[in-house]
């Protein structure tokens, strides 16, 4: 087996090469190899300088994340970094691909850094709920400046080589062959008599920062970092870099890194990191399943959803035909798409040329016959089975053999839709989330007869259009909406019980949700929820179930789009409405719903535990393959914060026994209909296990 780190001489320059595919992660063998090779370099009198370089497609792209929950094994990366820095002969890091996390920290332990123009460097540990714990919080501020370093670490976004060079993180950009250029750079250092240059010795002057810099910086990031633990710890580390001697500041970094490592936020974020990679694996669809080529797509329905769907394909260069029922609707749909593109152009995030190119890829039509050559057709019409039937019978008649026929349905039975065609094996659900051109989730619904080819093609297509594809099976609402309905149900019930909608939304927001359940309901449209409830054949036999939604729709209060729903709206700002409070009280009296006092803790329990219990039923029924798939759905499609890890991971953190105990408490109050613990939940709780164990 070849060594993961090797040592060779190029004249008087030692070349230390890391070869640990696929991304040269800093696993224990790599750390040991680096320590051994640099020790050899230190004792090699013929080597005047060293170049650290990597094989394959990238420089060291970070730590081996699988080691994070294991005991630390020496040499720990900070020791390796300090050993390199303390060498008496100069070391040059030669970077291609990405130098991320521990990779950049290792490079900053070297005395000089060079890179190819296409390289990127960064410290993205914040995305895992961590901070750069191998002296990164101390070194990057010394090289790039305090504010630039904070921005890089808090955002986690990498710097292109050009920017890193301008900021002082890189010493040179290498044209041509990286190894030859880096060796030449090192040889020039030797000729010029330039020895090691330690980043740790670069002075950081606190007096150079504006008064109140750190407090102002905290305020500037408060909204985007709400609920996350690591960003504040990163700021504390940089404060230490500015105010303490280096060794003491490193000690502080170590302490705060361990606090991050053991925090529930980091556990949640690391869980999602792995979940997002696991979600694409489908055990019963072989890896070598043939994919159908998708060269042209058609979308039936040019409304806000259909237009957003079309944009996903145009954005990646796939031509789209957009079908509508009349010219007025078609013109309106194309105008919506144009408006969606014009926003980013005005903000400088997209060029006019790129917008024009995307618009040119979208062809409007009124004729089903124009869809005949499409490889994939996505229906995005009204969410009623009668309309779906008309559309799919038309598609079955005009589409070529082998075309994938997909429905954007959010709740309806994909098997029933497939039965409207003579090719159910080609039918699948592709449930996009609004706005479809922005949201990252694609719920892929396999029917009973959907072929492996269609499933595999759909999963691959999700990546092509930059979505997270989650494969689920058929039931009303699939995974996302089926679990979201209990969440809305409890919010609605609490409204009848006298809990102000704004209080429920505030508590949900403070827990971490992007919006509270009432705000989301108004944004989605109360009429949409009302129609879904009417289509739901197995709706609970409960006259109080989402009664307020129906009552508000009857009064013409449809949500934001009508200027009033659960809230009334001043522009897009929700304002509590006494009329809704009075209506809720009247409905409660009519239904015999008692007014109750609830704590903030109860609000969260009822919203989240109702959802979690439904998730357990979904897992038991095989609707979702993995608990972690459910977590991905909610973090990418429903505004659940990454630092919670999704509903099933949150249940694991709370403890399933505590979830069951709370459910039994509400069962005693409300009866068996909603609060009977799912068999899987009850069993796992009894056995002391977790959903994601």
Per-position b or e across 504-529, b if 16+ CB within 10 A of its CB: bbebbbebbbebbbbbbbbebbbbbb
CATH number for position 408: 3.40.50.720
Same domain, 223 and 193: yes
In a domain, 582, yes or no: yes
Q: Range of 593's domain? A: 480-622+626-687
CATH number for position 244: 3.90.226.10
In a domain, 291, yes or no: no
Residue 285's nearest CA partner among 149, 146, 453 is: 453
3-state SS assignment for residue 12: coil
CATH number for position 653: 1.10.1040.50
Regions in the chain scoring below 70 on pLDDT = 1
Same domain, 405 and 462: yes
Q: Answer with the one of 443, 472, 501 that is the final residue of a domain.
A: 472
Same domain, 254 and 144: yes
Same domain, 47 and 191: yes
CB 129 within 8 A of CB 643: yes
Same domain, 461 and 484: no
Average pLDDT, the chain: 96
Same domain, 251 and 372: no
Burial class (CB in 10 A: 0-12, 13-18, 19+), 561: middle
| Active-site annotation holder among 105, 253, 394, 587 | 105
pLDDT in tens, 151-199: 999 999 999 999 999 999 999 999 999 999 999 999 999 999 999 999 9
CA atoms within 13 A on the CB side of 232: 13
pLDDT in tens, 205-232: 888 899 999 999 999 999 999 999 999 9
Q: Which helix (H) or strand (E) holds 32?
A: helix 28-43
pLDDT in tens, 592-640: 999 999 999 999 999 999 999 999 999 999 999 999 999 999 999 999 9
pLDDT in tens, 33-53: 999 999 999 999 999 999 999
CB 635 within 8 A of CB 647: no
Same domain, 444 and 490: no
Peptide bond between residue 22 and the one before it cis (omega within 30 degrees of 0): yes
Same domain, 507 and 539: yes
Per-position b or e across 659-682, b if 16+ CB within 10 A of its CB: bbebbeebbeeeeeebbebbebbb
In a domain, 670, yes or no: yes
* pLDDT at residue 72, as a whole number: 81
**Cβ neighbours around 562 below 10 Å, total:** 18
Q: Answer with the one of 409, 437, 472 that is the final residue of a domain.
A: 472
In a domain, 343, yes or no: yes
Q: Answer with the one of 211, 244, 261 that is the final residue of a domain.
A: 261
* pLDDT at residue 112, as a whole number: 98
Q: Which helix (H) or strand (E) holds 176?
A: none
Active-site residue, 614 included: no
Taking the C-alpha atoms of residue 588 and residue 603, their distance in angstroms, rounded to an integer, is 18
Same domain, 348 and 384: yes
In a domain, 271, yes or no: no
CA angle 198–199–200, rounded 5-degree value: 90
Taking the C-alpha atoms of residue 482 and residue 638, their distance in angstroms, rounded to an integer, is 12
In a domain, 273, yes or no: no
| Active-site annotation holder among 125, 253, 602, 614 | 125
Same domain, 179 and 305: no
Strand partners, 26: 63
Same domain, 468 and 484: no
Taking the C-alpha atoms of residue 540 and residue 610, their distance in angstroms, rounded to an integer, is 14
Angle between helices 136-144 and 246-261 (to 10 degrees): 120
In a domain, 292, yes or no: no
* pLDDT at residue 533, as a whole number: 86
* pLDDT at residue 167, as a whole number: 97
In a domain, 616, yes or no: yes
* pLDDT at residue 64, as a whole number: 86
Helix, strand, coil shares, percent, the chain, to 5: 50, 15, 35
| DSSP string of 229-295, one letter each residue | SHHHHHHHHHHHHHHS-HHHHHHHHHHHHHHHHTSHHHHHHHHHHHHHHHTT--TTS-TTPPPPP-S
Six-digit token string for 134: 């191998």
Active-site residue, 453 included: no
Count of domains for the chain: 3
Same domain, 453 and 537: no
pLDDT in tens, 332-383: 999 999 999 999 999 999 999 999 999 999 999 999 999 999 999 999 998 8
């Amino acid at each position: 087996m070849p060594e993961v780190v090797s040592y060779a001489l190029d004249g008087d320059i030692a070349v230390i090469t890391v070869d640990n595919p696929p991304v040269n992660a800093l696993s224990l063998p790599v750390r040991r190899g680096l320590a051994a090779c640099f020790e050899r370099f230190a004792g090699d009198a013929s080597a005047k300088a060293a170049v650290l370089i990597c094989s394959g497609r990238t420089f060291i792209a970070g730590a081996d994340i699988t080691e994070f929950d294991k005991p630390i094994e020496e040499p720990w990366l900070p020791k390796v970094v300090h050993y390199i820095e303390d060498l008496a002969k100069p070391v040059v890091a030669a970077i291609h691909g990405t130098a991320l996390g521990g990779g950049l920290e290792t490079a900053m332990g070297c005395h000089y850094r060079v890179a190819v123009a296409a390289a990127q460097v960064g410290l993205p540990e914040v995305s895992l709920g961590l901070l750069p714990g191998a002296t990164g919080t101390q070194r990057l501020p010394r090289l790039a400046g305090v504010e630039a370093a904070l921005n890089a670490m808090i955002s986690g976004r990498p710097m292109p080589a050009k920017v890193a060079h301008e900021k002082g993180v890189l010493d040179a950009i290498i044209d041509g062959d990286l190894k030859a250029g880096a060796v030449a750079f090192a040889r020039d250092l030797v000729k010029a008599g330039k020895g090691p240059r330690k980043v740790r010795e670069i002075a950081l002057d606190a007096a150079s920062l504006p008064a109140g810099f750190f407090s102002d910086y905290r305020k500037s990031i408060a909204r985007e970092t709400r609920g996350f633990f690591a960003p504040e710890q990163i700021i504390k580390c940089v404060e230490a870099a500015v105010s303490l001697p280096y060794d003491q500041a490193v000690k502080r970094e170590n302490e705060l890194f361990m606090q991050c490592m053991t925090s529930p936020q980091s556990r949640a974020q690391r869980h999602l990191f792995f979940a997002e990679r696991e979600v694409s694996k489908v055990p019963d669809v072989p890896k070598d399943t043939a994919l159908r080529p998708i060269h042209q797509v058609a979308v039936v329905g040019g409304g806000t959803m259909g237009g957003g769907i079309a944009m996903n394909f145009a954005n990646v260069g796939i031509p789209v035909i957009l079908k509508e029922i009349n010219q007025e609707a078609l013109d309106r749909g194309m105008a919506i798409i144009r408006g969606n593109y014009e926003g980013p152009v005005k903000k400088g995030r997209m060029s006019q040329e790129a917008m024009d190119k995307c618009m040119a890829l979208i062809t409007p039509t009124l004729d089903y016959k124009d869809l005949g050559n499409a490889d994939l057709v996505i229906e995005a019409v009204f969410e009623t089975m009668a309309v779906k039937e008309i559309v799919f019978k038309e598609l079955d008649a005009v589409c070529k053999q082998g075309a994938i026929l997909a429905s954007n349905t959010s709740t309806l039975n994909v098997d029933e839709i497939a039965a409207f065609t003579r090719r159910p094996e080609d039918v699948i659900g592709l449930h996009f989330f609004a706005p479809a051109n922005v949201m990252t989730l694609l719920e892929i619904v396999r029917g009973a007869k959907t072929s492996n080819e269609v499933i595999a093609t759909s999963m691959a297509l999700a990546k092509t259009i930059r979505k997270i594809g989650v494969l689920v099976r058929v039931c009303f609402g699939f995974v996302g909406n089926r679990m979201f309905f209990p969440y809305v149900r409890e919010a609605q019930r609490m409204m009848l019980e006298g809990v102000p909608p704004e209080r429920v939304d505030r508590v949900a927001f403070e827990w971490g949700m992007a919006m509270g359940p009432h705000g989301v309901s108004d944004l989605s449209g109360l009429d949409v929820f009302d129609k879904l409830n009417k289509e739901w054949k197995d709706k609970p036999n409960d006259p109080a179930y989402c009664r307020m939604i129906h009552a508000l729709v009857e009064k013409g209060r449809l949500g934001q789009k009508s200027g009033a729903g659960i809230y009334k709206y001043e522009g897009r700002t929700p304002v509590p409405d006494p009329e809704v409070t009075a209506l809720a009280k009247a409905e409660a009296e009519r239904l015999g719903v008692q007014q109750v006092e609830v704590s903030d803790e109860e609000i969260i329990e009822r919203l989240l535990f109702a959802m979690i219990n439904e998730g357990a039923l979904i897992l038991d029924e095989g609707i979702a393959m993995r608990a972690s798939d459910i977590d991905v759905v909610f973090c990418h499609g429903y505004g659940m914060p990454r630092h919670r890890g999704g509903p099933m991971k949150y249940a694991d953190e709370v403890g399933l026994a505590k979830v069951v105990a709370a459910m039994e408490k509400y069962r005693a109050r409300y009866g068996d209909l909603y609060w009977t613990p799912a068999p899987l939940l009850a069993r796992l709780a009894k056995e002391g296990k977790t959903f994601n164990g």
